[in-house]
Amino acid sequence: MRFHGYFRSSSSYRCRIACNLKGVEYDFVSVHLTRDGGEQKGAGYKALNPQGLVPAFELDGGEVLTQSPAILEWLDETCPEPKLLPDDPVERAHVRAFCAVIACEIHPLQNLRVLQYLRGEYGQDQEGVEAWCQRWIGDGLAACEALLAKRPAQKFCFGDTPGMADVYLVPQVFSAARFKVDLGGMPNLRRIAEACNDLPAFAEAHPSQQPDAE
Protein backbone atom coordinates (compact mmCIF):
# COMPACT_ATOMS: atom_id res chain seq x y z
CA MET A 1 0.00 0.00 0.00
CA ARG A 2 1.17 3.52 -0.81
CA PHE A 3 0.25 6.35 1.55
CA HIS A 4 0.24 9.68 -0.28
CA GLY A 5 0.41 12.41 2.35
CA TYR A 6 2.06 15.47 3.78
CA PHE A 7 3.75 15.81 7.13
CA ARG A 8 1.72 18.80 8.34
CA SER A 9 -1.71 17.75 7.02
CA SER A 10 -4.02 16.96 9.94
CA SER A 11 -5.84 14.29 8.03
CA SER A 12 -2.57 12.59 7.02
CA TYR A 13 -1.53 12.76 10.69
CA ARG A 14 -4.78 11.04 11.75
CA CYS A 15 -4.17 8.21 9.31
CA ARG A 16 -0.53 7.81 10.40
CA ILE A 17 -1.64 7.37 14.01
CA ALA A 18 -4.28 4.81 13.09
CA CYS A 19 -1.81 2.82 10.94
CA ASN A 20 0.73 2.88 13.78
CA LEU A 21 -1.82 1.74 16.37
CA LYS A 22 -2.79 -1.18 14.12
CA GLY A 23 0.70 -2.00 12.88
CA VAL A 24 -0.26 -1.35 9.26
CA GLU A 25 2.78 -0.83 7.04
CA TYR A 26 2.94 1.31 3.90
CA ASP A 27 5.25 3.06 1.48
CA PHE A 28 5.06 6.78 2.05
CA VAL A 29 4.82 9.12 -0.95
CA SER A 30 5.27 12.81 -0.13
CA VAL A 31 2.85 15.28 -1.72
CA HIS A 32 4.16 18.75 -0.91
CA LEU A 33 1.16 21.05 -0.42
CA THR A 34 2.91 24.39 -0.87
CA ARG A 35 5.99 23.81 -3.06
CA ASP A 36 5.62 24.82 -6.74
CA GLY A 37 2.05 25.99 -6.13
CA GLY A 38 1.12 22.66 -4.52
CA GLU A 39 2.05 19.21 -5.82
CA GLN A 40 -1.48 18.06 -5.00
CA LYS A 41 -2.72 20.23 -7.87
CA GLY A 42 -0.35 18.64 -10.41
CA ALA A 43 -1.59 16.31 -13.13
CA GLY A 44 0.24 13.32 -11.63
CA TYR A 45 -1.47 13.50 -8.27
CA LYS A 46 -4.84 14.51 -9.69
CA ALA A 47 -4.86 11.40 -11.86
CA LEU A 48 -4.76 9.51 -8.58
CA ASN A 49 -7.12 11.76 -6.60
CA PRO A 50 -9.06 14.24 -8.75
CA GLN A 51 -9.95 16.26 -5.66
CA GLY A 52 -6.27 17.12 -5.19
CA LEU A 53 -6.26 16.58 -1.44
CA VAL A 54 -4.20 14.38 0.84
CA PRO A 55 -4.17 11.72 2.12
CA ALA A 56 -4.87 9.06 -0.48
CA PHE A 57 -4.31 5.35 0.14
CA GLU A 58 -3.33 3.51 -3.04
CA LEU A 59 -4.07 -0.14 -2.37
CA ASP A 60 -1.98 -2.92 -3.87
CA GLY A 61 -4.87 -3.85 -6.18
CA GLY A 62 -4.94 -0.29 -7.56
CA GLU A 63 -8.00 1.03 -5.73
CA VAL A 64 -7.52 4.55 -4.33
CA LEU A 65 -9.15 5.54 -1.07
CA THR A 66 -9.56 9.20 -0.16
CA GLN A 67 -10.99 11.32 2.67
CA SER A 68 -9.56 10.45 6.05
CA PRO A 69 -12.92 9.67 7.76
CA ALA A 70 -13.56 7.02 5.09
CA ILE A 71 -9.98 5.71 5.26
CA LEU A 72 -10.13 5.43 9.05
CA GLU A 73 -13.41 3.49 9.00
CA TRP A 74 -11.93 1.22 6.31
CA LEU A 75 -8.83 0.62 8.43
CA ASP A 76 -10.99 -0.26 11.42
CA GLU A 77 -13.11 -2.65 9.37
CA THR A 78 -10.26 -4.41 7.58
CA CYS A 79 -7.59 -4.39 10.32
CA PRO A 80 -9.77 -4.95 13.36
CA GLU A 81 -7.09 -5.17 16.09
CA PRO A 82 -6.93 -3.05 18.16
CA LYS A 83 -10.45 -1.74 17.58
CA LEU A 84 -10.72 2.02 17.25
CA LEU A 85 -14.51 2.05 17.69
CA PRO A 86 -16.40 0.40 20.56
CA ASP A 87 -18.91 -2.39 19.93
CA ASP A 88 -22.03 -0.78 21.38
CA PRO A 89 -23.93 1.24 18.73
CA VAL A 90 -24.73 4.16 21.07
CA GLU A 91 -21.13 4.33 22.26
CA ARG A 92 -19.98 4.18 18.64
CA ALA A 93 -22.28 7.14 17.94
CA HIS A 94 -20.77 9.11 20.83
CA VAL A 95 -17.23 8.43 19.59
CA ARG A 96 -18.14 9.27 16.00
CA ALA A 97 -19.87 12.49 17.14
CA PHE A 98 -16.68 13.57 18.90
CA CYS A 99 -14.71 12.82 15.71
CA ALA A 100 -17.26 14.69 13.59
CA VAL A 101 -16.89 17.83 15.71
CA ILE A 102 -13.24 17.84 14.67
CA ALA A 103 -13.66 16.57 11.10
CA CYS A 104 -16.79 18.56 10.20
CA GLU A 105 -16.79 21.62 12.47
CA ILE A 106 -13.14 22.55 12.98
CA HIS A 107 -10.78 21.11 10.41
CA PRO A 108 -12.51 22.32 7.20
CA LEU A 109 -12.30 25.91 8.40
CA GLN A 110 -8.54 25.86 8.92
CA ASN A 111 -7.77 24.15 5.62
CA LEU A 112 -4.98 25.68 3.54
CA ARG A 113 -7.25 26.70 0.66
CA VAL A 114 -9.72 28.40 3.02
CA LEU A 115 -6.93 30.40 4.69
CA GLN A 116 -5.62 31.32 1.23
CA TYR A 117 -9.11 32.64 0.39
CA LEU A 118 -9.20 34.75 3.56
CA ARG A 119 -5.83 36.26 2.63
CA GLY A 120 -6.56 36.74 -1.07
CA GLU A 121 -10.22 37.79 -1.08
CA TYR A 122 -10.64 39.45 2.31
CA GLY A 123 -7.10 40.83 2.66
CA GLN A 124 -6.56 39.11 6.01
CA ASP A 125 -3.03 39.20 7.42
CA GLN A 126 -1.52 36.57 9.74
CA GLU A 127 -3.31 38.09 12.73
CA GLY A 128 -6.66 37.97 10.96
CA VAL A 129 -6.11 34.38 9.90
CA GLU A 130 -5.20 33.42 13.47
CA ALA A 131 -8.32 35.14 14.83
CA TRP A 132 -10.43 33.09 12.39
CA CYS A 133 -8.71 29.84 13.36
CA GLN A 134 -8.89 30.62 17.06
CA ARG A 135 -12.62 31.17 16.82
CA TRP A 136 -13.43 27.87 15.10
CA ILE A 137 -10.80 25.69 16.71
CA GLY A 138 -11.60 27.20 20.10
CA ASP A 139 -15.37 26.70 19.75
CA GLY A 140 -14.97 23.17 18.42
CA LEU A 141 -12.47 21.97 20.99
CA ALA A 142 -14.60 23.51 23.76
CA ALA A 143 -17.46 21.32 22.46
CA CYS A 144 -15.15 18.28 22.58
CA GLU A 145 -14.14 19.17 26.13
CA ALA A 146 -17.84 19.46 27.10
CA LEU A 147 -18.55 16.03 25.62
CA LEU A 148 -15.78 14.48 27.73
CA ALA A 149 -16.62 16.47 30.86
CA LYS A 150 -20.07 14.79 30.95
CA ARG A 151 -18.43 11.36 31.27
CA PRO A 152 -16.31 9.76 33.99
CA ALA A 153 -12.68 10.69 33.30
CA GLN A 154 -10.66 7.96 31.60
CA LYS A 155 -7.07 7.84 30.47
CA PHE A 156 -8.05 8.40 26.82
CA CYS A 157 -11.14 10.04 25.30
CA PHE A 158 -13.45 7.04 25.51
CA GLY A 159 -11.60 4.39 27.45
CA ASP A 160 -8.36 3.16 28.90
CA THR A 161 -6.86 2.45 25.49
CA PRO A 162 -6.59 4.94 22.63
CA GLY A 163 -9.32 4.88 20.00
CA MET A 164 -10.83 6.79 17.10
CA ALA A 165 -11.51 9.95 19.13
CA ASP A 166 -7.86 10.15 20.19
CA VAL A 167 -6.80 9.66 16.56
CA TYR A 168 -8.73 12.83 15.67
CA LEU A 169 -7.91 14.78 18.82
CA VAL A 170 -4.11 14.75 18.76
CA PRO A 171 -3.63 16.29 15.28
CA GLN A 172 -6.24 18.93 16.12
CA VAL A 173 -4.43 19.85 19.35
CA PHE A 174 -1.23 20.12 17.30
CA SER A 175 -2.98 22.54 14.90
CA ALA A 176 -4.41 24.48 17.84
CA ALA A 177 -0.87 25.19 19.02
CA ARG A 178 0.16 26.36 15.53
CA PHE A 179 -2.69 28.89 15.54
CA LYS A 180 -2.10 29.90 19.20
CA VAL A 181 -5.45 28.67 20.48
CA ASP A 182 -5.79 28.88 24.26
CA LEU A 183 -6.55 25.41 25.66
CA GLY A 184 -6.47 26.69 29.25
CA GLY A 185 -10.12 25.79 29.87
CA MET A 186 -9.79 22.30 28.41
CA PRO A 187 -8.06 20.17 31.05
CA ASN A 188 -9.39 16.85 29.75
CA LEU A 189 -8.19 17.48 26.20
CA ARG A 190 -4.74 18.59 27.37
CA ARG A 191 -4.34 15.63 29.69
CA ILE A 192 -5.45 13.12 27.06
CA ALA A 193 -3.31 14.61 24.29
CA GLU A 194 -0.32 14.31 26.61
CA ALA A 195 -1.12 10.68 27.46
CA CYS A 196 -1.40 9.92 23.73
CA ASN A 197 1.88 11.61 22.87
CA ASP A 198 3.63 9.39 25.41
CA LEU A 199 2.79 6.38 23.23
CA PRO A 200 5.10 5.45 20.33
CA ALA A 201 2.14 5.12 17.89
CA PHE A 202 1.36 8.80 18.41
CA ALA A 203 4.91 10.08 18.91
CA GLU A 204 6.13 8.46 15.69
CA ALA A 205 3.18 9.92 13.76
CA HIS A 206 4.07 13.49 14.81
CA PRO A 207 4.69 15.83 11.84
CA SER A 208 8.24 16.55 13.03
CA GLN A 209 9.11 12.85 12.72
CA GLN A 210 8.11 12.45 9.06
CA PRO A 211 10.56 12.07 6.17
CA ASP A 212 9.12 15.16 4.45
CA ALA A 213 9.22 17.35 7.60
CA GLU A 214 10.79 20.76 7.20
Residues contributing to the site for a second copy (CB under 8 A): 50-51, 53, 59, 63, 65-71, 73-74, 77-78, 89-90, 92-97, 99-101, 103-105, 107-109, 114, 117, 121-122, 124, 131-132, 135-136, 143, 146-147, 150
Nearer to a second copy, 33 or 147 (CB): 147
Number of CB atoms found within 10 A of residue 113's CB: 12
CA 210 to chain centre: 15
Q: What is the DSSP letter of 5?
A: E
Name which of 153 and 213 has its Cβ closer to a second copy: 153
Nearest distance in Å: CB 147, a second copy: 7
The answer to whether residues 70 and 103 touch, using CB atoms and an 8 Å cutoff, is: no
* Shortest separation between residue 207's beta carbon and a second copy, angstroms: 20
Q: Which CB, 63 or 160, lies closer to a second copy?
A: 63
Minimum CB separation from a second copy for residue 93, in Å?
A: 4
Residues 6+ apart with CB under 8 A from 11: 53, 54, 55, 67, 68, 107, 171
Quick one: 145 or 212, whose CB is closer to a second copy?
145
Phi, psi of 9 (to 5 degrees): -70, 125
What end-to-end distance do the CA atoms of the chain give, in Å? 24
